[in-house]
Structure 1
Amino acid sequence: MSDLPRKAVTRTAKLAALPLGFAGRATWGLGKRIGGKSAEIVGRELQQRTAEQLFKVLGELKGGAMKFGQAMSVFESALPEEVAGPYRAALTKLQEAAPPMPTRTVHSVLEERLGEDWSELFVEFEDKPSAAASIGQVHRGVWHDGREVAVKVQYPGAGEALLSDLTQLSRFARLLGPLIPGMDIKPLIAELRDRVSEELDYGLEAQAQKAHAEEFAGDPDVLVPAVVHQCDQVLVTEWIDGIPLSEVIADGTQEQRDRAGQLLARFLFSGPARTGLLHADPHPGNFRLLPDEKNGWRLGVLDFGTVDRLPGGLPLPIGDSLRMTLDGEAEAVYELLCEEGFVKESIDLEPDAVLDYLLPIIEPAQADEFTFTRGWMRSQAARVADPRSPAHQLGKRLNLPPAYLLIHRVTLSTIGVLCQLGATVRLRDELEEWLPGFVPDEELLDEEDAAAEA
């Protein structure tokens, strides 16, 4: 397997060929239909061929191409079932693996960053990677103090590749749009570009992981591996075993699915409250389900390369607006959305229409427990994507302020994973515990008074 292609012209040529491939397959499909094959059969073959080419290219190129593929993979639940099948396998492959770097390249990076005697830092070091991702790959080893470790090595030229890929992908974002109904691809690519420099900085990643590891040390529900060593292009952390969430999605028991879903929701909302940081890369490859004698299962969390810094936790208006929406306070919700910039000054909307738009989306927060399904996700995507629907017309007139962009994507991505899991989750419990503003201040005071009296 060759190195990560570093020449922009090479990567650009591969990505530029994708739209031509899409057009070629459409012509092939027309020919098949003229030849007598049914539209349904041809459509499925066309989807499968498109998926195979798209994600084969994204996976081979790694860099920004694969990062984009991973970001999209959590939204496959939104695809109509007759379309989702061919995509599902190709998409989920990107969550756990990609073609590896040659051993000589890995050794070269380690020698440059850790010194000529780098191998003496390890009792053992496995040359075959245990996982490969968009900007680096992970090797299993044993540190000189006896700890099992994960050694993350950044691909040479990863930064150039990331920017080149995402620039090229943005040029034909409209062609990629139909892959995920109701989702605007271009802002996703722009947001990924904005995060490039942070993700390449293993020093920032080490800081974020240390903060989480310290806060969640001894936690009964969440395990974050400690940072062992960090330098430019190399990050060494403690190794954790467990079942990758992609395997739970494919073959897990309902107990595993429900527990993984509950812990994923708990980590999403408790992380910012406890650390001031939001883990912003919630695709299944970054999570493990770990057996635990006391609680059955714990959630192992990996890869803190992309985080949103929220010193006060999640913004108070999120909890306030969610609570008021559930209470049917249309005027108050609309006023808050205007204040926060979700409705621009030049736009005038009916508060009741806004409430009708929001209520189906926040259905999981209404019940004591909610079962997330692909069917529910598809219904939400179809409602927003259908140009004839009032939801589509209203959604086009809403605005997403920059401060909420990453929070929005992380929340949607997490919901996508919960739907892939088919998990039954007590989401309201997590919101009441961790989301500022969701429980009114007077209710908190009443609970404190009751506890003091008891």
Structure 2
Amino acid sequence: MADNENGIGSQVRRYARVGRSMGGLAAKLAGERYLGVKIDRDDHARELRAALGGLKGPLMKVAQILSTIPEALPKEYAQELAQLQADAPSMGPAFVKRRMVSELGPGWRKKFGEFEREAASAASLGQVHRATDLDGTRLACKLQYPDMRSAVEADLRQLKLIFSIYRRYDRSIDTSNIHAEIGDRLREELDYRLEAKHMALYRMMLADEPHVHVPEIYPALSTDRLLTMGWLDGKRLLTFRGEPIEVRNELAVNMFRAWYVPFYGYGVIHGDPHLGNYTVRDDRTINLLDYGCIRTFQPKFVKGVIDLYRAIRDDNRDLAVHAYESWGFEGLNDEVIETLNLWAAFVYAPLLEDRPRKIQEFGDEGVYGREVAERVHRELKERGGVTPPREFVFMDRAAIGLGGVFLHLKSEINWYRMFHELIEGFDADAMAERQKAAFAEAGVPLP
């Protein structure tokens, strides 16, 4: 296979390279645990970031994901991993030529009007090139880096080592489901044909949302490892932080609907609210750019989200337990339920008040939810721990990631009314039928 994509040799080389980076860090932890040699968590976290920072590929992607899941890592590690940059150095012209010949054949260049050999942007799993079709339409061509399938499998093994490092410190969160969920989503991100289908699905789900734009796919110029779509102009969202409150509020509303119209209408969430995955047009509408990390939920899970909101609103313990169990939490006792409700009360707080307000009106404004997450984490540790269900991982990540965006914008909107507009008349059976029809039309398999 081209680029030795799944070769055992590639996996062994990747594993050895990452292993060298991680081995010394693990040894330090073993020394602390078994020999009583104390280490500084902050220094150790910085060393971990330095070890991962030189790696292109999925382990960097994993680190970015973990930094946005409050229960996955302690704050010292999350803060360091959050600094890993998605804009890794791009692969050069030789790689581009090999990849394009491999995907579209020796005559690939004749299929484009223009094609820029230098990447417009580079991330952890691939890079994007500007191009035009033969009619002059502007395109974005996403090329996957070589050996990514091998890298994913090697790095997922090393992710277990990262989690074991954490577990030496803290057993309050069982990370097994987090690892499994991240693994499945990473493998899906390598399938560009699936991403193209997800994009088609989003074009349908957001067809009535004029303030959110989804790129058009060009199937004749796309393969398993090449994804060609229409180019969408826009500016980074954080450039709008200094704009008047009316502008920032408008952007927040558009972002809210871009993520939650698909969730409450079809049970689909964009699981990667990374700042590089959306841009803002001059008319303040949103471009949603990347569809590699998409999570689908059964209607009963979505109903559980609404049930828990009502349980927190009405102080209904039995309904809260029902919601947690519908998500897959097991072995809940009164103390664990009380602790989980602390987190739920924080997440749902903006939805409980029928007034314009900031997404977070108290606490540390550096990281959305960090103070509450730390308290919940501490109490779970005292009460025996919990295993987060797989479905919960990216749902929680999306909520925290978007909360961080709203925090940056300092937007003040009526979250209550936007939420109630989406859930009004919710019916799980109707969602199931709507979900089935949309997925069939887009060619996406229902999980």
Task: Please classify the TM superposition score into its range, dividing by the shorter chain length.
Answer: 0.7 to 0.9
Q: Is the contact between residue 174 and residue 385 of structure 2 (CA under 8 Å) also seen in structure 1?
A: no
Cα distance in 2 between the residues matched to 1:17 and 1:257: 45
1:332 aligns with 2:315: no
Cα distance in 1 between the residues matched to 2:244 and 2:24: 40
Kindly state the Cα deviation for residue 159 of structure 1 after the two structures are TM-superposed. 0.9
- The one-letter code sitting in structure 1 at the alignment partner of 2:64 is Q
Q: Is the contact between residue 223 and residue 301 of structure 1 (CA under 8 Å) also seen in structure 2?
A: yes
- Residue 139 and residue 182 in structure 1: after superposition, are their counterparts in 2 closer, same or farther (change >3 A)? farther
Cα distance in 2 between the residues matched to 1:417 and 1:111: 39
1:147 aligns with 2:128: no
1:61 aligns with 2:53: no
Q: Is the contact between residue 149 and residue 190 of structure 2 (CA under 8 Å) also seen in structure 1?
A: yes
Alignment counterpart, residue 112 of structure 2, candidates 122, 134, 147: 122
Cα distance in 2 between the residues matched to 1:401 and 1:93: 27
- The one-letter code sitting in structure 2 at the alignment partner of 1:396 is G
> 272-281 or 204-213, which moves further after superposition?
272-281
Cα distance in 1 between the residues matched to 2:166 and 2:248: 30
Cα distance in 2 between the residues matched to 1:290 and 1:183: 41
- The one-letter code sitting in structure 2 at the alignment partner of 1:53 is A
1:432 aligns with 2:423: no
Could you state the TM-score of these two structures normalised by the residue count of structure 2? 0.76
- The one-letter code sitting in structure 1 at the alignment partner of 2:165 is L
SS at match of 1:396: coil
1:366 aligns with 2:352: yes
Kindly state the Cα deviation for residue 355 of structure 1 after the two structures are TM-superposed. 7.5
Cα distance in 2 between the residues matched to 1:212 and 1:184: 33
Alignment counterpart, residue 216 of structure 2, candidates 217, 222, 226: 226
Structure 2 runs not aligned, ≥5 long: 30-39, 428-447
- Residue 135 and residue 240 in structure 1: after superposition, are their counterparts in 2 closer, same or farther (change >3 A)? same
Tell me how large the CA RMSD over aligned residues is: 4.0
- The one-letter code sitting in structure 1 at the alignment partner of 2:306 is G
SS at match of 1:138: strand
Alignment counterpart, residue 72 of structure 1, candidates 66, 72, 87: 66
Q: Is the contact between residue 129 and residue 137 of structure 1 (CA under 8 Å) also seen in structure 2?
A: yes
> 358-367 or 112-121, which moves further after superposition?
358-367
> 411-420 or 297-306, which moves further after superposition?
411-420
- Report the counterpart of residue 303 of structure 1 in structure 2: 290
Cα distance in 1 between the residues matched to 2:336 and 2:169: 32
- Report the counterpart of residue 385 of structure 2 in structure 1: 396
- Report the counterpart of residue 239 of structure 1 in structure 2: 231
- Residue 275 and residue 316 in structure 1: after superposition, are their counterparts in 2 closer, same or farther (change >3 A)? closer
1:381 aligns with 2:369: no
Cα distance in 2 between the residues matched to 1:85 and 1:163: 23
- Report the counterpart of residue 10 of structure 1 in structure 2: 13
- Residue 321 and residue 70 in structure 1: after superposition, are their counterparts in 2 closer, same or farther (change >3 A)? same
SS at match of 1:195: helix
Could you state the TM-score of these two structures normalised by the residue count of structure 1? 0.75
Paired residues for 1:318-357 under 5 Å = 318-338=305-325, 340-344=327-331, 347-349=332-334, 353=338, 356-357=341-342
- Residue 100 and residue 67 in structure 1: after superposition, are their counterparts in 2 closer, same or farther (change >3 A)? same
- Residue 91 and residue 128 in structure 1: after superposition, are their counterparts in 2 closer, same or farther (change >3 A)? farther
Kindly state the Cα deviation for residue 306 of structure 1 after the two structures are TM-superposed. 2.1
- Residue 188 and residue 365 in structure 1: after superposition, are their counterparts in 2 closer, same or farther (change >3 A)? same
- The one-letter code sitting in structure 2 at the alignment partner of 1:371 is I
- Residue 310 and residue 207 in structure 1: after superposition, are their counterparts in 2 closer, same or farther (change >3 A)? same
Structure 1 runs not aligned, ≥5 long: 27-41, 440-454
1:262 aligns with 2:253: yes
Q: Is the contact between residue 206 and residue 261 of structure 2 (CA under 8 Å) also seen in structure 1?
A: no
Kindly state the Cα deviation for residue 273 of structure 1 after the two structures are TM-superposed. 3.8
Alignment counterpart, residue 290 of structure 1, candidates 281, 292, 302: 281
Cα distance in 2 between the residues matched to 1:76 and 1:350: 20
Kindly state the Cα deviation for residue 260 of structure 1 after the two structures are TM-superposed. 3.7
SS at match of 1:197: helix
Q: Is the contact between residue 76 and residue 416 of structure 1 (CA under 8 Å) also seen in structure 2?
A: no
Cα distance in 2 between the residues matched to 1:273 and 1:348: 29
- Residue 85 and residue 12 in structure 1: after superposition, are their counterparts in 2 closer, same or farther (change >3 A)? closer
Q: Is the contact between residue 272 and residue 313 of structure 1 (CA under 8 Å) also seen in structure 2?
A: no
Kindly state the Cα deviation for residue 85 of structure 1 after the two structures are TM-superposed. 11
Kindly state the Cα deviation for residue 224 of structure 1 after the two structures are TM-superposed. 1.0
- Report the counterpart of residue 396 of structure 2 in structure 1: 408
SS at match of 1:7: helix
- Residue 188 and residue 370 in structure 1: after superposition, are their counterparts in 2 closer, same or farther (change >3 A)? same
SS at match of 2:140: strand
Cα distance in 2 between the residues matched to 1:179 and 1:71: 20
Cα distance in 2 between the residues matched to 1:49 and 1:205: 34
- Residue 322 and residue 310 in structure 1: after superposition, are their counterparts in 2 closer, same or farther (change >3 A)? same
SS at match of 1:407: helix
Identity %: 26
Q: Cα deviations across residues 372-412 of structure 1 (Å, max 9, x unaligned)? A: 333652211221222xx3x5545824x53444444333333
- The one-letter code sitting in structure 2 at the alignment partner of 1:263 is N
- Residue 208 and residue 71 in structure 1: after superposition, are their counterparts in 2 closer, same or farther (change >3 A)? same
Kindly state the Cα deviation for residue 47 of structure 1 after the two structures are TM-superposed. 6.5
